[in-house]
Structure formats: C-alpha cells, structure tokens
C-alpha cells in the first residue's frame, strides 16, 4: 500500500473512532484511499490572492475573530474540526483552543504567509489536495496568475445597462459595474439601441473574457431579485431600453423585463463562446437572505428554451435547501450542479445523504465545490482553513455515500471509483474543457 492510501486509511479509521458524528456511517477504506488520492477541481471558491492589508486587521488578542452573525455549526469558532485544518496547514501542535495556543497559531500563519509570499495560494491548494480552483472574483490577484486558479467573473452588471459606475451588488473582492465593463469594451457611450448594447458590450465582454482564458461566468442575481428569468419578446425589451435612454421613468416590471431579456442574451452568447454559466441558487450569505427567490425551480422556464440548449449551466450550491429540485433539473442535458457551500451548511453525515440521492440520479452531473471564502474578522477560519476542511469533508461525505451504494449492490466497486473521480475531478475537466 502506498503512503497516500495508508494515510487515508488511518484517517478514516481514526475519524470514525473519535468522531461520534462519523461513527454511524460505514466507510469502505479502499474507497477512502482512492478519493484521497484524487487531485480535485474545486468548482466554486472565493479564494484570496496575496495582499498586505489583509493581515492588518488580525488581532493577537482575538485570534479566532468574531463572525458578523451566528454561523452554522460547522463554521462556529468552537468547532473542533478547525484543529485538523490547522495541523495540516500550519503544523499546529495542540489538541485544544487555549488562547495562548491560538495566539501562537495566528503568529505562525502570518509568518508562513510572509515566507511563502506569492506562492501562498498554491501552498493552500496543495495542502488541500486541490489541483485547480475556480475563483469567483472581480479579478484574480497576486499569486493566482497561473493555471491553478481560473477566473470566473461576475456577469450581473451586464443586466443593468443604466447603473453606470454603481456596483449594484456587494460583490466579494471589490466592486464591479457596467461602467467598468463598458470602458473595458472600449465603448465611449452607452449604445442608443438594445441591439447595439448586446453587440458592443455584452458580446464584446464575453468574447474578451473567453479569449483571456475564462471558462465560466457567474450570476449572483438572487441577492437582488428572484431568479425567475422569463422569456421576453425582443421588441418589448427594446422599447424599455429606448425609454430609459430617453430619460423617461421605467417601473419595476419594465426593469425586470429588460433584465430577463438580457439574461437570456448573455446566456446565449456565453454558450456561443463555450462559456459555462454558473448561477447562485439556494441559501445565501446573511440572516435575511430570501431563500424563496433563489429556488432553482424558478429557472425552469428560461432553461427550457431551445435557443439555450448549447449553453451549459451549473446550479451553484445545489439549490440547498431545494436540493431535490436541483437534482431533478439535472435531467436536462445542459444542467449540472455542485455542492459548494453545502460543505459548511451541513455536517458530513447530512452532506453524504444529499450526495447519495444525487449520485443515484445523474452522477456525471455532480461537481465538487467548497465555496471557500474569507470573512472580515475570522483569521483562523478564513478561506485557507475552509479550503482544506471543506475539501476533506467533501471527500469523507463522498466516501460514505458511495460505500452505501456499494453495500446495497447499486454499483460495482469499479463504478464507485469512476463516480468518485467524476465528482472530484473528471466531470469538471470535461465540462470546462480543461487540459
């Protein structure tokens, strides 16, 4: 048995023996070892680049920091699972969270970041066993200018032609506006017609992104409106655009019709450039997020349109808590789902239950993702720790789900291994056409 398989087996046995939450879940040690060896592709992250300002807010008096609002069990500061991440990333020597030990740990993290400099982002991926991470951000930064990190830009500003320099949504990592995209497209003034806008700004932006190596775009629209993008007659949308260009008032239903039309156009042009369209579905950040308007089922009408069948869509976060709806929607040949964020919404056992249902449906449509991100004041549970811990949790949950399917005679051992590689890597390679 090679070292990777040996360590994976030891981890599986030890975890089940010491963690009551895992003890109820039978895990096939050979599958655990196989999954541990896969160099994963993370479908969705907000991993940070290197920048000096980030560590300046970290206080030795509060090494764990404090969340903006109560977190789920997995993300709480007292979750003992963080200790496993600290050991793997920083060589943490203790079994506890005593203040003195945590101050030492925070100093170690800062020192390692300084020593590794622009190699730090790669170091984090390597520690987690991740080969490639898709980073949803305004732009990639220092340490991310390599094939290990792939940029997924926000497409939402293209929905709002008249918002100018205003960043309508609070995009993580900085503002993004239609004014910025207009300048990058080399367009001095907003085109007079809707067709001109689609050609000169929407098409030009997507073509530029595709030419620079972007393989996917993302919509965060559920943070501002429902994702019930309807099919709109072009003449109706054009009349709204012309009205707004003339300075006449445009009401909410008219705004929605223009946004709905532009979503369809952006998705269609993305498909022509072989760009995958990622859409936030399900639960969102913050205690007042409206889950109902993020139900993936709201996308049914637009995704059923024949003109979008050449566009591939990914339902980010698997629509949780509407994960059964997301599962059913993968019946469509061009619809995929990932389980990013479910890695910290759910315990390992609960995630395994979701995954088993999905894998018994269309396993080739299921993508691994973490949604790793950094908070304003959580220095020891930032993107680094989430990248490691959520990747490790995903591997364990996948092993539990496949072990159950194997034990019930639903799949062979070879098929179980094949599915594991599809989820953690191969399906993303094919979907995003990665070499």
What CA–CA distance (Å, rounded) separates 232 from 255? 12
Each residue of 26-69: pLDDT tens digit?
899 999 999 999 999 999 999 999 988 888 889 999 999 988 88
231 lies in some domain: no
Q: What is the pLDDT of residues 90-113, one digit of tens each?
A: 999 999 999 999 999 999 999 999
For residue 360 the two structure tokens come to 């018994």
* Six-digit token string for 310: 């050449």
206 occurs within a structural domain: no
pLDDT tens-digit profile of 283-336?
998 889 999 999 999 999 999 999 999 999 999 999 999 999 999 999 999 999
Report how many domains make up the chain: 1
Instruction: Report if residue 227 sits inside a domain.
Output: no
* Contact between 428 and 417 (Cβ < 8 Å): no
Q: Are the C-beta atoms of residues 314 and 432 closer than 8 Å to each other?
A: no
pLDDT tens-digit readout, 172-205: 767 789 999 999 999 999 999 999 999 999 999 9
Q: Kindly write down the DSSP assignment for every residue of 180-226, as one continuous string.
A: HHHHHTT-SS--SSHHHHIIIIIIHHHHHHHHTT--EEEE-GGGTS-
Judge whether 54 lies within some domain: yes
What angle, rounded to 10 degrees, do the helices at 82-90 and 383-407 form? 120
Asked whether residue 235 is domain-assigned, the answer is no
Q: What is the CATH number of the domain that holds 315?
A: 3.20.20
Confidence (pTM): 0.92
Instruction: Average the pLDDT over each of 22-36, 198-212, 355-369 and give the range with the smallest value.
Output: 22-36
Q: What is the mean pLDDT of residues 392-407?
A: 98
- Give residue 164's pLDDT band: very low, low, confident or very high (50, 70, 90): very high
Query: What burial class does residue 117 get, using C-beta atoms within 10 Å of its C-beta: 0-12 exposed, 13-18 middle, 19+ buried?
Result: exposed
Is 173 among the domain residues? Answer: no
Nearest to 131 by CA among 36, 35, 8, 42: 42
Residue 250 lies in a domain: no
* CA–CA separation, 394 and 340 (whole Å): 9
Instruction: Give residue 286's pLDDT.
Output: 85
On the question of pLDDT at 11 being above 60, the answer is no
Looking at the predicted structure, is the pLDDT value of residue 12 above 80?
no
Where b means 16+ CB within 10 Å and e means fewer, 41-65 reads bbbbbbbbbbeeeeeeebeeeebbb
Which pLDDT does position 24 carry in this prediction? Answer: 63
Inside any domain, residue 92? yes
Q: What percent of the chain has pLDDT over 70?
A: 94
- The pLDDT of 228-257, averaged and rounded, is 97
The domain in which residue 24 lies consists of 3-153+274-431
pLDDT at residue 9 is higher than 50: no
Closest C-alpha to 389, from 17, 77, 38, 83? 83
Q: What is the C-alpha R_g of the chain?
A: 22
């Amino acid at each position: 048995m090679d070292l990777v398989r040996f360590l994976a087996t030891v981890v599986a046995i030890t975890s089940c023996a010491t963690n009551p939450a895992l003890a109820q879940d039978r895990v096939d040690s050979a599958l655990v070892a196989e999954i541990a060896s896969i160099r994963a592709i993370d479908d969705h992250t907000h991993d940070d680049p290197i920048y000096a300002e980030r560590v300046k807010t970290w206080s030795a008096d509060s090494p764990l920091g404090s969340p903006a609002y109560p977190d789920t069990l997995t993300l709480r500061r007292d979750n003992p699972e963080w200790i496993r991440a600290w050991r793997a990333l920083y060589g943490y020597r203790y079994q506890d969270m005593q203040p003195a030990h945590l101050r030492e740990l925070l100093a170690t993290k800062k020192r390692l970041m300084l020593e590794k400099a622009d190699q730090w982002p790669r170091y984090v991926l390597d520690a987690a066993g991740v080969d490639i991470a898709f980073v949803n951000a305004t732009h990639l930064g220092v340490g991310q200018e390599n094939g290990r990190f792939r940029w997924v830009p926000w497409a939402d500003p293209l929905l709002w032609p008249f918002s100018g320099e205003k960043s309508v949504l609070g995009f993580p990592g900085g503002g993004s506006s239609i004014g910025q995209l207009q300048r990058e497209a080399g367009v001095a003034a907003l085109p007079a017609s809707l067709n001109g806008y689609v050609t000169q700004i929407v098409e030009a932006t997507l073509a530029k992104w595709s030419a620079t190596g972007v393989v996917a775009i993302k919509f965060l629209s559920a943070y501002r409106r429902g994702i019930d993008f309807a099919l709109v007659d072009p003449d109706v949308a054009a009349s709204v655009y012309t009205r707004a260009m003339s300075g006449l008032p445009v009401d909410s239903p008219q705004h929605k019709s223009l946004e709905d039309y532009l979503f369809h156009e952006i998705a269609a042009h993305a498909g022509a450039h072989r760009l995958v369209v990622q859409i936030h579905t399900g639960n969102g950040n913050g205690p007042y997020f409206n889950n109902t308007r993020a139900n993936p089922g709201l996308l049914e009408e637009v995704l059923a349109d024949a003109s979008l069948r050449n566009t591939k869509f990914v339902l980010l976060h698997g629509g949780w808590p509407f994960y059964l709806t997301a599962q059913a929607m993968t019946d469509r040949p061009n619809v995929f789902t990932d389980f990013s964020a479910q890695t910290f919404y759910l315990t390992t056992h609960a995630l395994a239950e979701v995954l088993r249902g999905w894998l018994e449906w269309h396993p080739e449509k299921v993508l691994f993702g973490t949604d790793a991100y950094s908070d304003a004041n959580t220095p020891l549970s930032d993107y680094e720790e989430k990248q490691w811990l959520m990747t490790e949790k995903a591997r364990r949950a996948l092993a539990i789900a496949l072990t159950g399917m194997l034990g019930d005679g639903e799949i062979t051992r070879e098929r179980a291994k094949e599915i594991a590689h599809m989820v953690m890597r191969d399906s993303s390679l094919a979907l995003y056409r990665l070499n």
